[in-house]
Amino acid sequence: MSEGIWNRMQRIDRRVLYWILFVGLMIPFIRPIGLPIAIKSSTRDLYEELRQVEEGEVAVLSISSGVSAWAECLPSMVACMKVLVQQNAKIIGWTTFIDGPLTWDKIVSLVPGLEEYTYGEDYVWFGYFAGAETGVAQLASDIRSVFTADYYGTPIDELQIMKDVNDVHDIKLVLSSDTGDACDYYIRQWHTPYGTPVAEVGIAMQGSAYMPHYRAGILFGMSVGVRGGAEMEKLINEPGNATVSMDAINISHIMLVIVVVLSNVGYIMTRGKR
């Protein structure tokens, strides 16, 4: 009898699990639980460094994450932009992803402070550039050799913000939002040769990948995944999408842990009887 239960437990149709997961994830959005969010030192360091940016200093937001990663990266990017706007920093955006412009438009729509900013004077969007690490290296030595105009076709020399910005020396810091290894490009081509501070605003997978760099002081901060976004939202005292999503994420983890435990128990119980 008991063997039957254990065997059946291992033969649960995966579609049943997917349905439970999909429906289960919706519940916290309808009835939020409000679990507490602890702030990691890596996120706090990112916030503190952004707070050190002085008025008029230039920060770069490099978007190497696609629309598919909005759930993970967007809240952090929006929170970082809000801090930069509060500091009256100038912001330059560019992307190595072809759908990067959609992400930029979304960020602009979610940062109310940008309405008081003047495009071309306080912030600018250059859009896509090719070449990945080669392009990043070239941007360090001469931005004008990569971009001759902004995303909307305005010549770079007509943009007020670019008047005194030519290369890496005119940039205060870089926020690299990526789902892959784009942050490595900035570490190799901007931080190592020129000492430009670099931070990672990435997906959860980047947490373990870039933690050694943060610990070693190569990255000045990190905000990874929805949790990073929720931490940033807590730090700027503006609960947003990431804060709401955290309950759903926690529920999904609990469900996954239960499934993993049950399947392992089932495996162990039937192992000797095979």
Q: Which residues bind another protein (CB under 8 A)?
A: 14-15, 18-19, 21-22, 25-26, 29-30, 68-72, 98-99, 128-130, 133-134, 137, 146, 148-149, 187-189, 191-193, 203-209, 212-213, 215-218, 224-226, 241, 244-245, 248-249, 252-253, 256
Least distance to another protein, CB of residue 97, Å? 10
CB contact set of 189 (below 8 Å; sequence gap of 6+): 133, 136, 137, 140
The least distance separating another protein from the CB of residue 3, rounded to whole angstroms, comes to 29
Which one, 21 or 269, has the nearer CB to another protein? 21
In the complex, what is the shortest distance from the CB of residue 31 to another protein, in angstroms, rounded to a whole number?
10
CB of 29 to another protein, least distance (A): 5
Distance CA 246, CA 225 (A): 10
Q: 84 vs 111, which CB is nearer to another protein?
A: 111
Angstrom distance (rounded) from CA 151 to CA 169: 23
Q: Tell me, what DSSP letter sits at residue 255? A: H
Nearer to another protein, 72 or 122 (CB): 72
- Give the nearer residue to another protein in terms of CB position, either 69 or 89: 69
DSSP code per residue over 145-162: GT-SB-TTS-BGGG-GGG
**Please, which residue, 100 or 266, has the CB nearer to another protein?**
100
Please report how close the Cβ of residue 48 comes to another protein at its closest, in angstroms: 19
- Alpha carbon of 221 to those of 84, 95, 246: distances in Å? 15, 20, 21
Angle between helices 241-271 and 70-86 in degrees, nearest 10: 150
**Using CA atoms, how far apart are residues 200 and 40, in angstroms rounded to an integer?**
14
Q: Which is nearer to another protein, 1 or 30 (by Cβ)?
A: 30
What is the C-alpha separation between 21 and 54, in angstroms, rounded? Answer: 45
CB of 56 to another protein, least distance (A): 29
